[in-house]
Chain A
């Protein structure tokens, strides 16, 4: 376990460095104006987030999450903090699913992935998940 934690630390250091570098490279064409792409990315994310929220209204999704002991409000809070990239990733998974089938599975799986990363203490967003240290 100790070994895993050491490893996590170095990975997060590398990730932090990557984030800093990418934010330097991603400066828009003109330094001070907001680029068209930035607004589009933001709007796309808003629409995706709303779509994901609407999916939580489905009874089968609700009951599956409830049976796993995950509260709806916590999931909603988590969705609010999803980045555009994470939302795009989710949409991709959903698009690859055969029409009408397995949608619940994908929604629940996607949400679980985030809960599991919380469990492993990569992030600390879900206060109800007890971090195993």
Chain B
């Protein structure tokens, strides 16, 4: 019996292994191609520079990112928030969390050189994580991309103790690849990153909502609802924030707009019913709940 099982499993397994190795082989990297649309030199001169102290590239980089958005903070003040002495470094998740504590929206960039360059071109410095050594013996390093030079095919970074350090694109890509191309833009919630995609931006706004940065989250949802009127989550977010603050009629208004603009989204009807019930309008609430149930019956959710 075990022999039979092995035999029949061999064929697809071989196929899987074959596909896997083809994928691996095609992964051999070539020289990075410089994207055509960035043909000049750009330098964000207003981004201040803080040279890092021993191992503390995290706090220094984060301070530069925040200072660029007119948040007054020094690397020393950030050390307690993001620096882990026993690891001699900071973790990405803490860098992001600390930026949110200052009410900033942290937007994760698509893992492409174009995205980084586009943000810089739009005047937004980019926080990147690099691995300066090897995958099996890493030396993680945070730096801030503040410009690029097409002629020299270089990126310009505030990195470590080097101000306006010019790093060839090939070296940048090699070190950035080893961090899975981690890159973040940190902006006030009323501004939209140049490469922003509606859902990603809304998820970043939702991260502010869940980390109790309610005022910032509200601003971010408002910004999103104006920039992308076709996104229902922005209205739902605004309604949910009002609901959580106990502002039932404000929540009702947002939910009502949501149901008018996006009648096929059951969450709108459901939450509207809740907001009405909280105001003691049980009859109206029941009618809305019925509508929510009707939509669910029409469009079965494949995940449930």
Contact = CB atoms under 8 A, between A and B. Distances in A.
Nearest to A93: B23
B206 A45 contact: no
B280 interface: no
Given A34-B236, A102-B23, A105-B19, A80 B206 contact: no
A17 to B, nearest CB: 20
Given A33-B243, A115-B12, A101 B5 contact: no
A106 B27 CA distance: 12
A86 to B, nearest CB: 10
A1 B5 contact: yes
Given A119-B9, A132-B8, A38 B26 contact: no
A29 interface: yes
- Of B1, B240, B270, chain A has the most CB atoms within 10 Å of the CB of B240
Contacts of B26: 98, 101-102, 105
B19 A109 contact: yes
Interface in A72-117: 80-81, 83-84, 95-98, 101-102, 105-106, 108-109, 112-113, 115-116
Contacts of A108: 19
A102 B22 contact: yes
B303 interface: yes
Contacts of B29: 98
A68 interface: yes
Contact of A39 (B13, B244, B267): B267
A95 B111 CA distance: 8
Nearest to B1: A1
- The bracket for how many chain B residues form the interface is 35 or more
B151 interface: no
Contact of A38 (B20, B180, B267): B267
Given A36-B206, A119-B9, A30 B244 contact: yes
A127 interface: no
B267 A44 contact: no
Contact of B199 (A47, A68, A105, A106): A47
Contacts of B15: 68, 112
A44 B63 CA distance: 32
B11 to A, nearest CB: 9
Interface in B1-46: 1-2, 4-5, 8-9, 12-13, 15-16, 19-20, 22-23, 26-27, 29
A42 B264 CA distance: 13
Contact of B236 (A39, A84, A95, A112): A39
B19 A83 contact: no
A43 interface: yes
A34 B303 contact: no
The 9 closest A-B pairs by CB, nearest first: A34-B267, A101-B26, A36-B237, A102-B23, A102-B26, A105-B23, A105-B19, A33-B271, A109-B19
14 contacts: A30-B243, A30-B244, A34-B266, A36-B236, A36-B240, A39-B267, A95-B111, A98-B29, A101-B27, A105-B19, A105-B23, A109-B20, A112-B12, A119-B9
Given A36-B233, A43-B232, 12 more contacts: A33-B243, A34-B267, A34-B270, A36-B209, A42-B303, A43-B199, A68-B12, A102-B27, A105-B20, A109-B19, A112-B19, A132-B4
Interface of B: 1-2, 4-5, 8-9, 12-13, 15-16, 19-20, 22-23, 26-27, 29, 111, 180, 199, 202-203, 206, 209-210, 232-233, 236-237, 240, 243-244, 265-267, 270-271, 274, 301-303
Interface of A: 1, 29-30, 32-40, 42-45, 47, 68, 80-81, 83-84, 95-98, 101-102, 105-106, 108-109, 112-113, 115-116, 119, 132
